[in-house]
């Protein structure tokens, strides 16, 4: 009669996850994102909470592209961001956020993150340009700024360029709209109502369209990367940028449909390592540095994600980050 082998012990049921050494926990946490640590791993047990507070884990805070960002309220998300900043213990180098950032949160970062090198804000429409410019002035190591899908005036680029003349990367994506078509519709409406229309001189109109480009060219001479996709600048603004920013290595002009690219511009583009032309899709090319946060996410995607999150019970709780 053959002996029946003894069953293997159920190691999972006997394993005490709270007794994992700190270095093992740190290795686990580095594989997780900011939101997962704040809303999941931190609440497993006291030892995991203690390990999750290691400042090394919070040098890069990324609060983008997560379903929580599109379902939680602004107050909760800002409280989570503050917790992440506090855990960095003044060592944070990158802060990336989508949608929820406020001026008050930017002030909080200024007071606690003088080591900041990169700030990327996507569709953060609650902030004013002065708050972001103040942050740039107070963070001497800052090399990268993004403020996409929230229109910044030319004064913003002038101010940032003056306080951070050695800025290396600037990203200001916008959703392109046909300004000529919009202005023509407005003119037709005014005429139908019996009003008068005063035609704007061509030179004044072109200067208005290129105001951002001129401000960048005049104040940000050390840029290596510029993403200005979806803007209404013309080829005159592009030439100003190429003249004022001679060190550019990456230039994104995708969806800038008011630019006429002639042979002279093509020749100048050939001198830059990576260029996305107006007719190229934002994910064309082989330059990882030009990959935008959520560039393939449409507004319909966001609305569908929000609807799902309202219908489904969230898999993770709110923790202690607020109750608004």
20 pLDDT more than 70: no
Q: What are phi and psi of 61, to 5 degrees?
A: -105, 115
Angle formed by the axes of helices 74-87 and 103-112, to 10°? 10
Where does the pLDDT of residue 10 fall: very low under 50, low under 70, confident under 90, or very high at 90 and above? low
CA-to-CA distance for 253 and 238, rounded, in angstroms?
9
Q: In angstroms, how far is CA 211 from the centroid of its own chain?
A: 22
pLDDT value for 280: 83
What pLDDT score does 289 carry? 81
Q: Is the pLDDT of residue 189 over 70?
A: no
pLDDT band at 110 (very low <50, low <70, confident <90, very high): very high
Report the mean per-residue pLDDT for the chain. 80
The better pLDDT of the pair 173, 116 is held by 116
Q: Are strands 144-148 and 169-171 parallel, antiparallel or unpaired?
A: parallel
pLDDT of residue 33: 72
- Is residue 106 pLDDT above 70, yes or no? yes
Is 312 a residue whose pLDDT tops 70? no
Q: State what percent of residues in the chain have pLDDT above 70.
A: 67
Stretch 26-46: mean pLDDT, rounded?
A: 66
Q: Pick from 171-175, 200-204, 263-267 the range whose average pLDDT is largest.
A: 263-267
User: Of 19 and 81, which is predicted with more confidence?
Assistant: 81
What is the band of 295 on the pLDDT scale with cuts at 50, 70, 90?
very low
Q: Which domains does the chain have, with CATH numbers?
A: 61-311 (3.80.10.10)
> 299 pLDDT band (50/70/90 cuts)?
very low
pLDDT for the residue numbered 155: 97
Residue 106: which residues within 8 A CB-CB, separation 6 or more? 127, 131, 132, 134, 135
Q: What is the pLDDT of residue 262?
A: 95
The candidate with the shortest Cα–Cα distance to 289, out of 175, 176, 169, is: 169
């Amino acid at each position: 009669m053959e002996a029946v082998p003894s069953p293997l012990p159920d190691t999972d049921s006997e394993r005490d996850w709270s007794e994992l050494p700190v270095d093992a926990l740190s290795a686990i946490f580095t594989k997780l994102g900011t939101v997962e640590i704040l809303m999941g791993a931190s609440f497993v047990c006291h030892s995991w909470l203690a390990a999750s507070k290691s400042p090394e884990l919070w040098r890069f805070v990324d609060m983008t592209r997560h379903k929580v960002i599109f379902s939680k309220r602004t107050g909760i998300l800002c409280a989570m961001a503050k917790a992440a900043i506090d855990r960095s213990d003044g060592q944070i180098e990158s802060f990336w956020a989508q949608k929820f950032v406020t001026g008050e949160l930017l002030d909080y970062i200024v007071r606690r993150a003088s080591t900041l090198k990169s700030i990327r804000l996507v569709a953060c429409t609650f902030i004013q340009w002065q708050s972001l410019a103040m942050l740039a002035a107070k963070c001497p190591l800052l090399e990268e700024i993004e403020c996409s899908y929230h229109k910044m005036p030319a004064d913003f680029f002038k101010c940032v360029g003056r306080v951070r003349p050695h800025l290396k990367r600037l990203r200001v994506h916008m959703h392109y709209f046909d300004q000529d078509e919009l202005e023509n519709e407005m003119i037709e409406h005014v005429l139908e109502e019996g009003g008068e229309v005063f035609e704007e001189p061509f030179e004044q109109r072109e200067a208005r369209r290129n105001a951002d480009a001129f401000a960048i060219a005049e104040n940000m001479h050390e840029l290596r990367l510029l993403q200005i996709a979806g803007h209404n600048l013309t080829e005159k603004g592009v030439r100003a940028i190429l003249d004022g920013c001679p060190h550019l290595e990456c230039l994104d002009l995708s969806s800038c449909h008011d630019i006429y690219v002639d042979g002279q511009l093509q020749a100048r583009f050939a001198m830059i390592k990576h260029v996305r032309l107006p007719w190229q899709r934002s994910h064309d090319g082989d330059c990882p540095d030009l990959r935008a946060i959520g560039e393939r996410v449409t507004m319909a995607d966001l609305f569908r994600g929000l609807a799902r999150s309202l219908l489904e019970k969230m898999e993770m709780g709110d923790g202690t980050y607020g109750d608004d």
